């Protein structure tokens, strides 16, 4: 066999492997997307690991579009998201502070129909043990979100948000219930009179 034929075979195998890999990634993203888009509400427990090595835990609720609530059981606070804000509440439900949510990866996850292919971000998917990890980074590379889905059920297992200062926050989810009834009162914010 000539060296030219051998090189041609190697090149063809390389490009066919790349094409299959790209096709598999697109198919996998579409499958995860379809599964996630069927979920309208979700609740369960979470454990949060912070960059400063502290840990928090509690219950969470999600209602598409854009609503989520994280009730921290070990520090008497809650966080609620809306389409425009992240709101910090005290244990009675009064607003302590709020921040614009802007183009947070969490906001992208809470839309009615996520579309990974048309997000204005860089997206990469990896297989890791029993998880599919979807890496979503800003086009300007200021932050990264990693959403991990179980291979067998495609349930959301955890997410990790890494900000522009390399500070990481990881939330792991357990006891998940999907497409359940969640009262709109769950996301109520009480504003103090000044």
pLDDT tens digit string along 148-176? 999 999 999 999 998 878 889 999 999 99
147: closest CA among 8, 56, 36, 7?
Answer: 36
For the chain, how many structural domains are there in total? Answer: 1
Assign residue 141 the CATH number of its domain: 2.50.20.10
Would you say residue 10 lies in a domain? no
pTM value?
0.82
Would you say residue 114 lies in a domain? yes
Do residues 60 and 44 touch, judged by C-beta distance below 8 A? yes
33: closest CA among 23, 22, 25?
Answer: 25
Would you say residue 156 lies in a domain? yes
Would you say residue 35 lies in a domain? no
Q: What's the pLDDT band for 42 if we cut at 50, 70, 90?
A: very high
- Does position 18 have pLDDT exceeding 80, yes or no? no
Tokens found for residue 26: 């697109």
- Does position 192 have pLDDT exceeding 50, yes or no? yes
- The CA–CA distances, whole Å, from 153 to 12, 60, 116, 158 equal 35, 20, 19, 14
162 or 138, higher pLDDT = 162
Query: Which contacts of 178-186 are long-range, i.e. CB under 8 A and separated by 24 or more positions?
Result: 178/39, 178/41, 178/42, 179/38, 179/39, 179/40, 179/41, 179/42, 180/41, 180/42, 180/43, 181/41, 182/41, 182/43, 182/61, 182/63, 186/61, 186/63, 186/69
Would you say residue 31 lies in a domain? no
Would you say residue 19 lies in a domain? no
Q: Which domain holds residue 115?
A: 41-187
Would you say residue 15 lies in a domain? no
Determine the pLDDT at residue 20: 38
165: left (phi over 0), alpha (psi -120 to 50) or beta: alpha
Would you say residue 74 lies in a domain? yes
Tokens found for residue 20: 């299959």
């Amino acid at each position: 066999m000539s060296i030219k034929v051998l090189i041609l075979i190697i090149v063809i195998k390389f490009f066919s492997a790349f094409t299959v890999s790209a096709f598999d990634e697109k198919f996998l993203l579409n499958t995860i997307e379809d599964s996630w888009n069927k979920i309208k509400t979700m609740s369960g427990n979470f454990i949060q690991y912070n960059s400063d090595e502290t840990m928090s835990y509690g219950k969470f609720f999600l209602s598409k579009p854009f609503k989520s609530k994280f009730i921290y059981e070990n520090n008497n606070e809650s966080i609620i998201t809306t389409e425009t804000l992240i709101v910090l509440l005290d244990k009675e439900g009064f607003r302590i502070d709020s921040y614009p949510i802007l183009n947070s990866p969490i906001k992208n996850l809470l839309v009615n129909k996520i579309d990974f292919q048309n997000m204005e971000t860089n997206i990469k998917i990896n297989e890791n043990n029993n998880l599919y990890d979807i890496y979503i980074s800003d086009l300007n590379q200021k932050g990264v979100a990693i959403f991990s889905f179980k291979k067998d059920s495609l349930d959301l297992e955890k997410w990790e948000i890494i900000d522009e200062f390399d500070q990481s926050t990881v939330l792991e989810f357990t006891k998940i219930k999907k497409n359940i009834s969640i009262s709109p009162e769950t996301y109520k914010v009480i504003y103090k009179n000044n």
